[in-house]
């Protein structure tokens, strides 16, 4: 009888271990599924936030639609004139070009769409005479002070873009 009881207890213990192992595996699988579902939920929340942001942008654009129509911002209503320029100019000329490119309200009724704008300062020394004398002063070259006195501040302007002018009907 003892053998029978010890066999039954051993079988019950083995069955308990097997059931515990199966429950542990099911628990781990459930945890993994919960992690996957949490990740999916976070992904859907991010997607919902993106859709919300896009909806807000659509509302903003729709609010501006009437203003866009009034300004005639349709591509067919505009003339396009490309500009590419690279010159060395004095400051007053650079200033005029910058004023053209600022889209400030002027009589021309145009807009400038810049692609590139680069301004760099350069120092220009006037040409020398044929006999080694400075053309303007008539003195011999070589003095650093003299060259600095005669140097002119110029600006390299590299500018490209498109002038947009509304068509007149």
Distance CA 7, CA 25 (A): 27
Domain boundary among 47, 71, 95: 71
Distance CA 128, CA 65 (A): 62
Q: Going by C-beta distance under 8 Å and a sequence separation of 6 or more, which residues neighbour residue 160?
A: 82, 83, 84, 85, 114, 115, 116
Q: Are residues 62 and 87 in the same domain?
A: no
Q: Are residues 52 and 88 in the same domain?
A: no
Is 112:101 a contact under the CB 8 Å cutoff?
yes
**pLDDT at 47 (0 to 100):** 96
When divided into structural domains, the chain yields a total of 2
Domain residue limits at 5: 1-71
Residue 73, classed as helix, strand or coil, is coil
Tokens read off for 148: 């600095």
pLDDT in tens, the chain (169 residues): 888 899 999 999 999 999 999 999 999 999 999 999 999 999 999 999 999 999 999 988 888 877 777 766 777 778 888 989 899 999 999 998 888 777 766 666 778 888 998 999 988 777 665 444 444 444 455 555 555 666 788 999 999 998 888 777 6
Tokens read off for 89: 């100019």
Domain boundary among 36, 52, 71: 71
**pLDDT at 100 (0 to 100):** 79
Phi, psi of 133 (to 5 degrees): -100, 150
**pLDDT at 144 (0 to 100):** 53
Q: Are residues 90 and 109 in the same domain?
A: yes
Helices H, strands E: what count in the chain? Answer: 3, 3
Q: Are residues 81 and 162 in the same domain?
A: yes
Q: Are residues 100 and 31 in the same domain?
A: no
Q: Are residues 54 and 84 in the same domain?
A: no
**For the chain, where are the E strands, in sequence order?**
78-89, 111-124, 152-166
| Bridge partners, residue 80, by sequence | 164
């Amino acid at each position: 009888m003892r053998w029978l009881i010890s066999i039954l207890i051993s079988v019950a213990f083995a069955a308990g271990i097997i059931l515990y192992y199966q429950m542990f595996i099911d628990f781990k699988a459930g945890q993994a599924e919960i992690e996957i579902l949490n990740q999916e939920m976070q992904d859907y929340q991010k997607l919902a936030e993106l859709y919300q942001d896009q909806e807000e942008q659509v509302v903003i654009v729709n609010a501006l639609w009437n203003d866009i129509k009034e300004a005639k911002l349709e591509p067919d209503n505009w003339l396009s004139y490309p500009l590419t320029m690279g010159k060395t100019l004095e400051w007053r000329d650079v200033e005029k070009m910058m004023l053209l490119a600022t889209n400030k309200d002027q009589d021309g009724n145009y807009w400038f769409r810049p692609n590139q704008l680069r301004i760099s300062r350069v120092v220009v020394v006037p040409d020398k005479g044929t006999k080694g004398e400075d053309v303007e002063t008539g003195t011999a070259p070589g003095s650093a002070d003299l060259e600095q006195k005669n140097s002119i501040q110029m600006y390299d302007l590299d500018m490209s873009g498109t002038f947009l002018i509304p068509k007149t009907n």
